[in-house]
Structure 1
Amino acid sequence: MTDLSDEQRRDLEAAAFRRLVAHLRARPDVQNIDLMNLAGFCRNCLSNWYREAAEAAGIALTKDESREIIYGMPYEAWKRRHQTEASEAQKAAFGKNRPADH
């Protein structure tokens, strides 16, 4: 494995995170429940992790602010524009596979 400095690792991780967020913003057709059912995390999880990292660094960030960073717009606006009603199959899969922290 290539030896990376802590700074290089941080920079590469940050770049990968920004690309993931950009990809999710470009794919509003992928619903959060689909992400949860397939991967066990969704956009809201990312926003929570972002807010928790900010808090650990002593930076005050609200839930709404962290969601806007991830969604690229206020969460309520994203839901109105992109969120669809989950199917019974999606709900059943989520109920079966739901992570303990959700």
Structure 2
Amino acid sequence: MKQLEERQRIELEAAAFRTLVEHLRKRSDVQNIDLMNLAGFCRNCLANWMKDAADAAGVGLSKEEAREIIYGMPYEEWRARHQTEASDAQKAAFEAAKPQH
């Protein structure tokens, strides 16, 4: 396996992260609960991880600002445009997998 310089690795990780975020913005049809049920994380998790990283680095970033970075718009606007009510099956799957989240 090729050894990358740390700076190269960080740049590639950042590019991959930006691509993931852009993909999730385009796939607004995929609900957060579906992501949680299948992968154990969702857009909100990404925003929380970004805020945690900002906190660790001493960078002031609110929860709302972190969510806007991930969603590409204020969270409440995204919810109004794209979020649907979770079905009973989705809720049951979420509860069954909850210890893994």
User: TM-score per shorter chain, which class?
Assistant: over 0.9
In the alignment, structure 2 segments of 5+ residues that lack a partner are none
CA shift at 1:38, angstroms? 0.2
Letter in 2 for 1:73: M
- Kept in 2: contact 1:40–1:99 (CA 8 A): no
- The one-letter code of the counterpart of 2:91 is K
Q: Taking structure 1 as the reference length, what is the TM-score of the superposition?
A: 0.96
**2:22 aligned with 1:22, yes or no?**
yes
Q: Which runs of 5+ in 1 are unaligned?
A: none
Q: TM-score, normalised by structure 2?
A: 0.97
Shift of 1:15: 0.3
Secondary structure of 1:86's partner? Answer: coil
Root mean square deviation, CA, Å: 1.0
Query: 2:5 & 2:71 partners in 1: Cα distance?
Result: 31
The residue type paired with residue 43 of structure 2 is R
Compute the displacement of 1:99 (Å). Answer: 4.0
Matched residue of 1:98: which SS?
Answer: helix
The separation in 2 between residues aligned to 1:95 and 1:23, in whole angstroms, is: 26
Name the residue aligned to 2:54.
54
Return structure 1 stretches of 4+ with deviation > 3 angstroms.
Answer: none
> What is the aligned length?
101
Bigger shift: 90-99 or 31-40? 90-99
Q: Check the 8 A contact 2:31/2:83 in 1, yes or no.
A: yes
Calculate percent identity across the aligned residue pairs: 69
Distance 1:100 1:60 in 2: 30
